[in-house]
Amino acid sequence: MNLSIAMSVAPLLAAFISLGSRNALFTRAVVPSLFFLQIGLIAYICIPVLNGTATDLIFSEDFSIDRIGAYFLLLTNFVVACAMSHAFAFFERESALGRLDDPNHERIFYASTALFLLAMSFVFICDNLGFLWVSIEATTLFSAALVYFSRDKHALEATWKYLIVCSVGIAFALLGTVLIFASSQHGAVPDGSLNIRVLIAHANMLQPKLLQLGYIFCLLGYGTKAGVAPLHSWLPDAHSEAPAPASAMLSGALLNCALYAIWRVTELMNLTPHHTLSTSLPIIWGAITALVASLVLVHQSGIKRLWAYSSIENVGIMLVAIGMSSPLLFFLQALNHSVAKVCLFLISGNIIQTTGTKELAHIHGVLKTSPVWGILFAIAALAVTGAPPFGAFICEWMILSKGADAHSWIAVIMLIIALTLSFIAVSVHVGKILLGTPKQSMIAPRSFGTSFIPFVLCVCALLLGVTFVPSLLVNPL
């Protein structure tokens, strides 16, 4: 079965069920089940590239997938499946609290999520820069409905900012795509091409000035979508106003899509004689992004904004890995970040529902109120800051080592400062959340569903650090 068809069936069916079913419990149960079934189907189809027997699977002229694309595709589907499984308990609690006034809002949420997953999945199989741009733009349109779920003025402002800022960024990426196409018309491909395999095969013949300009615009455009500083203004608002399952998907899946697009154009630039641009620029910009985010982390007032800026910091680290031309470190950092950050956003959603506030100043004593939430929250926070024995520690150490070997001392120093500051800031904020005296009104629901997915993700984070990441470092992508 063609992968593009296989990965379209479950999301389209989920969207149809979400809009057509009037039974909310049925939708909440069936949609994540379809997503988990899709993970198995995608893994089965991608076995040849996952086990290394094939370098890539070609489905048509403009659609194919290689090993890193297959890994990211599985990670994206896993993140969405976990977030939507937790959404069962989340919306059940929202309904009990009387916050689901209109059932149509939940139906639109599930349908938009299904189409959002479909758009993100296509990012990883596009072998054409034009289709890649369309897929990234589609993720913006479908995810905007998730940010606007609560329908209040804050959600409207966050959605508007998200659409405007990301659309401007994507416009720059479109200009970059057009310039890369133009670079292929000057001797490389007579009629021009946006096919990535064709461009890579003729990399040395692409017109250098147009190619370099196109790369800069693509980096600027997709960097805006990834939340690279100072183009990150949309990200904290969108992550903060979206419901917890949506915030988890935005951080754990959407950001990876934009960074993967940067990886594809960087991969092309690295094969040209002008590859200095595609190494130095992402490394410096990534290090600056990580440093800026870590500084802002110190003074945060909202629990979800805290994790939003933590995501920006990790985006900077992944951008450095892209500049180092290391698909292995790029994917492993994305994997560890996604697993831990999804867990943090889901538990933060539990805490917000229980306390009725997002403000860090009003959230204390979570360990006393719900020891299970508190322990899982602490584990995930340690994992996302790169503390041992979690996989992010190994990845970040390898990135720093690789940077030192390349004598990128400025970037290494900025990363060390950023990692130190973020660890201290997150530790202080999390300590205040977990300890202290909780509000008398804070009574955590004794529901297995609110803790199951975060527990699974914490176990995954631990296993990644002690087994999967070390094994992949021995047998790289």
Spatial CB neighbours of 162, under 8 Å, sequence gap ≥ 6 = 140, 143, 144, 147, 234, 237, 238
Domain membership of residue 454 as a residue range: 275-477
Whole-number Å distance between alpha carbons of 134 and 383: 34
What's the N-to-C CA distance of the chain in angstroms?
Answer: 25
Q: Is the pTM of this model over 0.85?
A: yes
Residue 389 belongs to some domain of the structure: yes
Mean pLDDT value of segment 272-289? 90
Whole-number Å distance between alpha carbons of 383 and 339: 9
Residue 402 belongs to some domain of the structure: yes
Do residues 300 and 449 touch, judged by C-beta distance below 8 A?
A: no
The per-residue pLDDT for range 179-193, each reduced to its tens digit, is 999 998 876 677 788
Residue 207 belongs to some domain of the structure: no
User: Which tokens belong to 169?
Assistant: 């960024």
Residue 391 belongs to some domain of the structure: yes
pLDDT of 477 higher than 60: no
3-state secondary structure of 71: helix
Mean pLDDT value of segment 220-249? 92
Q: Specify the number of domains making up the chain.
A: 1
pLDDT band of residue 1 (cuts 50, 70, 90) is low
pLDDT band of residue 23 (cuts 50, 70, 90) is confident
Q: Is 462 exposed, middle or buried (0-12, 13-18, 19+ CB in 10 A)?
A: middle
Say which range, 54-58, 236-240, 406-410, has the weakest mean pLDDT: 54-58
Residue 221 belongs to some domain of the structure: no
Residue 196 belongs to some domain of the structure: no
User: pLDDT value at position 129?
Assistant: 95
pLDDT of 441 higher than 60: no
Do residues 239 and 158 touch, judged by C-beta distance below 8 A?
A: no
3-state secondary structure of 58: strand
Whole-number Å distance between alpha carbons of 130 and 444: 48
The per-residue pLDDT for range 210-219, each reduced to its tens digit, is 999 999 999 9
Mean pLDDT value of segment 416-429? 94
Tell me what percent of the residues of the chain surpass a pLDDT of 90.
62
Residue 449 belongs to some domain of the structure: yes
Half-sphere exposure in the Cβ direction for 275 (13 Å, CA): 15
Do residues 464 and 390 touch, judged by C-beta distance below 8 A?
A: yes
Whole-number Å distance between alpha carbons of 336 and 143: 23
pLDDT band of residue 172 (cuts 50, 70, 90) is very high
Residue 225 belongs to some domain of the structure: no
